[in-house]
Structure 1
Amino acid sequence: MRPIALLAAALALAATPALAQNAGQIASAQRGASCAGCNLFQADFSRTELRGKSFAGARLRQADLSASVMNRTSFARADLRDVEAYGGVFTGSSFAGANLTGASFVGTYLQGANFRGAVLDGANFSGAEMDRAVGLTQGQLNRACGDAATRLPPGLSIPPC
């Protein structure tokens, strides 16, 4: 192939947008399948019940988990940046090692959830019930925010949003 044709082909390939999500994986997860390591970017799981599933290591960035019930679900090491989880129920779920940067957990029920090693930078926990969550440190919470209604484990506090 001529050098100019090669350059044109390379430029055309570089200009093609990368797939932002995997529609098949999203549909499977929405139907109730576990999907560890899946690409669920911007998936809509609002008002969905998915108890005891595994999304460990999955990419859920900008997903909508609002008003969902995902008790005992693993989000360990998952990318949950900028998710919307308003009013969700995540009793006993694992967020260990997950990236929750910019996530909104306003009014969310997080009793028994595991946050060991999770990144909480800019996460909003206003009104969240997490007084029985485990693995939370003051250092993590200092990088997040909440309000007077946020319930935390004894001895921990969160800056106001």
Structure 2
Amino acid sequence: MQSMLRRLPNARKICRTIGISLLAGGLFAQPAFSQSLEDIIAKGGCPDCDLRLRELRGLKLENADFSEAILRETDLKEAELANSNFREADLRRTELERAILSGSDFTEASMRGVDMEKADLARSRLKEADLRNADLNETNLAGSDLSGADLRQASLIRSDVSGALFRDAKMENVDFERSIMVGADFSNARLKNADLDRASAQGANFDGADLSGVRLSSANLTGASLRDTKLGDALLRHTKLAGADLTGASGLSPDRIIGACGDEKTKLPYGITLEPCT
């Protein structure tokens, strides 16, 4: 049966999507390609398997392959799966709290509502992943690539995204409160109405980003680049902008700059002034 499916273009994906197995020529409403825990460990993963709702808490398997697998609402809390392959996998509402996933590949994965609180995702690839409404609070994403990802309504409170790439990402209403964002790249990202209160974003790149309505209360943007950003209705309350470059930034209202500071190296749009940082 498996060899027949391999000869049919997209057949395996179709079976997985509609949740059926083709067995002995009949149709049965059962998960497709399910595997036992022993099989998963022995084979080093389970690509294209249906593992939804499975109890896999604490699974230890480095360099595992779960590409295109269905892991929807699966319990993988505290799993150790560093350097693993989750490309195009279905991880919607999957429980991955405190999991070790550093160096893993989640490219184009479906991860809406995933719970990755306090997980280690350092140096991982999440390009074009769907992370809407994801719980990424206190998650380590340092050095990861989330270019083109969809993070709308995601929560990254107290997360570490230093050096991470968010180029062209959709990030409306994302919550980065108290996060470490040093050297991160948000160029051309959509951060409308995002919360960056008390964020540490020294040296971060926001060039061309939409920061309309963003909250930057007590945020540190020392040395950050905000060239050609949209800042309409943004709130800069006690924001540190020493050495920051806001050349070409538009929409910034003096009425919404309250106690923000800069220095002689700060570059500001015409008509905008800041008090000196002390």
The TM-score, its normalising length taken from structure 2, stands at 0.46
Structure 1 pair 84–155 and aligned structure 2 pair: CA distance change class (3 A): closer
Q: Structure 2: which amino acid aligns with 1:41? A: R
Which residues in structure 2 correspond to 1:37-56 (within 5 Å)?
Answer: 37-56=128-147
Gaps of 5+ in 2: 1-89, 95-108, 247-251, 259-278
C-alpha distance in structure 2 between counterparts of 1:77 and 1:155, whole Å: 20
C-alpha distance in structure 1 between counterparts of 2:141 and 2:245, whole Å: 32
Structure 1 pair 88–115 and aligned structure 2 pair: CA distance change class (3 A): same
Alignment equivalent of 2:178, drawn from 76, 87, 97: 87
Match of 2:205 in 1: 114
**1:102-159 Cα shifts (integer Å, max 9, x gaps):** 100000000011011000110101111002101335x633541121x20114586762
Which residues in structure 2 correspond to 1:142-161 (within 5 Å)?
Answer: 142-147=232-237, 149-152=238-241, 153=243, 159-160=256-257
Contact 1:100/1:123 (<8 A) preserved: yes
Q: What's the Cα RMSD here? A: 2.5
Gaps of 5+ in 1: 1-20
Alignment equivalent of 1:134, drawn from 225, 231, 249: 225
**1:61-118 Cα shifts (integer Å, max 9, x gaps):** 0000100011100011000100111100011000000000010000000001101100
Higher relative contact order (CA 8 A, sep 6+): 1
Offset of 1:49 from its aligned partner? 1.2
Q: Structure 1: which amino acid aligns with 2:172? A: R
The TM-score, its normalising length taken from structure 1, stands at 0.76
Q: Does 64-73 or 28-37 show the bigger shift?
A: 28-37
Structure (1 or 2) with the greater strand fraction = 2
Contact 1:22/1:40 (<8 A) preserved: no
Contact 2:221/2:244 (<8 A) preserved: no
**Matched residue pairs, number?**
139
Bigger radius of gyration among the two? 2
